[in-house]
């Protein structure tokens, strides 16, 4: 009877050794202040670090100096084998581990010469090629937001907001976290550009295509004024461009939901905001854009990150080979 109760009772939350747990607040302060990471990245780093320190505690490691290279290798293995994490997520865990142990060494919490994370190689072969929509699929998706069947659709023209959102994601290659923070003052319609604040607070200027400009203009004229709200004189919109039904800024999760909803309307499955960013980059390269230009538009710090799109566009390489090689 007792065995049955023990098997069915909820498991206790995994604990972290005090000597390891005490490192988390100081490391969080370091990456927030010194590295200038975004709130989403800070949350991801802390989540990865919690997983690591919990696993190290299970292995009997009670201080950072106790952790050995094999512990870290086996930890990454469990992420793939037991948690079935995607390759990109494991690479992010690896980045967290490397930054964490560099910080430990720099602050003399461990011996810098014996840094166990130095033995870990970046598994570039794990990189997964991004999913990309065809131009026809993009056209279907962008046309999906339509007025409701309401006899007076002008009372709730949210489809104009959805259309502006989708156009911005594809026209300018914005991340979901970037498009939800675009403010009214970031838009420059005369120049046809938007100022985007990306990872690490870095800003870049990105052109907006004419269809996107038209969609944003319609939204600003006919929809946003109906959504804007204030309480006791305080503007709930925080001057953001894209608003929810309640007049507050659209959040990242809501943007994912809106993209998914309109994709289903268009008869498309497994579409997410980042897929529009991937499509933006791939279609630019297919049209002959320079890789360095695409890197700048996407806000990538390292061109190696942008080079993944040259693999996606393998058809263009095959066509070039057939056209110019003397023996196709």
Annotated catalytic residues are: 175, 199, 274, 277, 300, 309
Q: Of 193, 167, 203, nearest to 38 (Cα)?
A: 203
Q: Tell me 63's DSSP state.
A: S
Which residue(s) pair with 193 in the sheet? Answer: 188, 207
Distance of CA 221 to CAs 123, 189, 235, Å? 49, 13, 18
Distance, CA of 180 to CA of 146 (rounded, Å): 21
Residue pair 170/138 in contact (Cβ under 8 Å)? The answer is yes
Distance CA 107, CA 90 (A): 26
CA 129 distance to own-chain centroid: 15
Which phi-psi region, left, alpha or beta, contains residue 185 (left: φ > 0; alpha: ψ -120 to 50)? alpha
Task: Please identify which residue in the block is written with the tokens 């890197």.
Answer: 295
Specify the 3-state DSSP secondary structure of 194.
strand
Return all residues near 17 (Cβ < 8 A) that are at least 6 apart: 53, 56, 57, 61, 62, 63
125-135 exposure pattern, b = at least 16 Cβ within 10 A, e = fewer: eeeeebebbee
Local structure of 243: helix, strand or coil: strand
């Amino acid at each position: 009877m007792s065995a049955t109760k023990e098997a069915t009772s909820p498991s206790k939350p995994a604990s972290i050794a005090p000597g390891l747990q005490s490192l988390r607040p100081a490391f969080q302060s370091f990456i927030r202040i010194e590295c200038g990471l975004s709130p989403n990245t800070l949350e991801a780093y802390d989540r990865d670090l919690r997983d690591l320190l919990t696993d190290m505690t299970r292995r009997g490691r009670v201080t950072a100096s106790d952790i050995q290279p094999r512990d870290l290798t086996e930890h990454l293995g469990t992420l793939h084998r037991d948690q079935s994490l995607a390759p990109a997520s494991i690479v992010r865990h690896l980045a967290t581990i490397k930054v964490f142990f560099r910080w430990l060494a720099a602050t003399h919490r461990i011996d810098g010469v014996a840094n166990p994370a130095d033995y870990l190689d970046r598994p570039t072969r794990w990189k997964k090629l991004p999913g990309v929509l065809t131009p026809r699929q993009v056209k279907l998706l962008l046309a999906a937001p339509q007025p409701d069947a309401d006899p007076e659709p002008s009372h709730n023209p949210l489809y104009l907001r959805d259309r502006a959102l989708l156009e911005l994601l594809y026209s300018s290659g914005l991340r979901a976290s970037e498009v939800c923070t675009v403010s009214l003052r970031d838009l420059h319609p005369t120049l046809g550009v938007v100022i985007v604040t990306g990872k690490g607070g870095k800003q870049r200027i990105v052109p907006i295509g004419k269809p996107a400009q038209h969609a944003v203009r319609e939204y600003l004229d006919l929809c946003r004024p109906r959504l804007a709200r204030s309480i006791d004189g305080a503007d709930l919109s925080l001057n953001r461009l894209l608003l929810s039904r309640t007049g507050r800024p659209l959040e990242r999760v809501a943007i994912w939901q809106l993209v998914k909803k309109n994709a289903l309307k268009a008869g498309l499955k497994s579409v997410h905001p980042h897929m529009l960013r991937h499509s933006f980059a791939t279609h630019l390269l297919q049209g002959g854009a320079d890789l360095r230009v695409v890197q700048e538009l996407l806000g990538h710090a390292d061109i190696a990150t942008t080079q993944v799109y040259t693999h996606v566009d393998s058809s263009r390489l095959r066509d070039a080979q057939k056209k110019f090689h003397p023996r196709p």
